[in-house]
Amino acid sequence: MANRILTGIKPTGQLTLGNYIAVLKNLPKLMNQGDLFYFIADLHALTLPIEPNVLRQNSIDLAAFYLAAGLDPKKATLFLQSDVSAHAELNAIMQNYLYMGELSRMTQFKDKSAKMKESAIGLGLFAYPVLMASDIILYDANVVPVGEDQIQHVELTRDLVNRFNNRYGDVLVIPKYEVRKVGARIMSLSDPTVKMSKSDPKGDIFLKDDLAVIRKKIMSAVTDSGSEVKFDPENKPGISNLLTIYACLKDMSIEDAEKQFVNSRYGDFKKAVADAVVEELEPFQNRYKQIIETKAYEQVLKEGAEKASKVANVTLKRVQKAIGLLGK
């Protein structure tokens, strides 16, 4: 079977260097290794309150980011989740095959809901993994590139697929997650013990940040005691995170990055990391601006929705038939 590679990003908050490293950096390489379905998870963005204008703008930005990262619409399919109604339809079916106990064990749900009053937690936030499993299943995806925080959701998808196939025969493709060996979890620059998320302006590098601001953030990143540039996440989380960012952007191993800085002081090392990030993001931002100006994403999303719907509807029919829904 062909290599079907699928992943999505939620258009909430501002995209970070963590998202870039998890999904966008490898995009050109993966595009030559299989059939890519990359999407904007706008239905997932609704699981926490979001203003319509913000959702709209973030979705456009994200489409432009995928294209700026090198997604070639002739080789890969880029689409909005909400443009393909099969996602919602399969979600309605699959919610019967995942259980309350499983969903309440999901770390993401626990983290996000911990900060909320119970009366304000939407059902969608709880049922998030059902929709995510449906996203993956619809495209017969066998490879799902994600960051470390999404592994649990892909594993739950595997459980669901196995459960479904045991009951109905080999109907669904079993997916597997793919995380980077280096950089599966980029940490905050202001607190390197927590993940870089989309909501901490000091600790996050946002893809739309001014380049001077990015330099400043890196130069003021929290470092550790001592003076050696060494990869030691436990005792030197700040330096290890910066080394990880450097290694990812330069496509090198941590060992090689470490060797490069054996005799460097923290200040020189940080400057080299800032240079590497700026070198990567400057051309990326220029491409993004151009795509936004020409609105090149509009046609791509339109055609992407058509291509994605065709593939998704075939799987949806297969599922409907297998479980006994009559249909056309």
Q: Which residues are catalytic?
A: 112, 195, 198
Are 288 and 68 spatial neighbours (Cβ–Cβ below 8 Å)? yes
Cα gap 24→27, rounded to integer Å? 5
User: Binders of ligand TYM: how many residues, by CB under 6 A?
Assistant: 26
Establish if 7 lies at the interface with ligand TYM (CB under 6 A): yes
Binding pattern to ligand TYM, positions 33-72, x when CB under 6 A? Answer: --------x--x----------------------------
Establish if 217 lies at the interface with ligand TYM (CB under 6 A): no
Q: Is the dihedral of CA 147, 148, 153, 158 positive or negative?
A: positive
Q: Which is nearer to ligand TYM, 41 or 311 (CB)?
A: 41
Strand partners, 9: 40
Q: Which is nearer to ligand TYM, 175 or 274 (CB)?
A: 175
Residue for token pair 């953030």? 217
Nearest by Cα to 10 from 52, 35, 37, 47: 47
Nearest by Cα to 143 from 177, 110, 109, 170: 177
Establish if 113 lies at the interface with ligand TYM (CB under 6 A): no
Q: Which is nearer to ligand TYM, 169 or 249 (CB)?
A: 249
Establish if 308 lies at the interface with ligand TYM (CB under 6 A): no
Residues 225-284 contacting ligand TYM, CB under 6 A: none
Establish if 87 lies at the interface with ligand TYM (CB under 6 A): no
Establish if 147 lies at the interface with ligand TYM (CB under 6 A): yes
- List all residues 6 or more positions away from 238 whose beta carbon is below 8 Å from its beta carbon: 189, 192, 221, 222, 223, 224
Establish if 136 lies at the interface with ligand TYM (CB under 6 A): yes
Tokens of 187: 């940490």
Nearest by Cα to 16 from 3, 25, 5, 6: 25
Contact residues: ligand TYM, CB under 6 A:
6-10, 18-19, 21-23, 41, 44, 132, 135-136, 144, 146-147, 149-150, 153, 184-186, 195-196
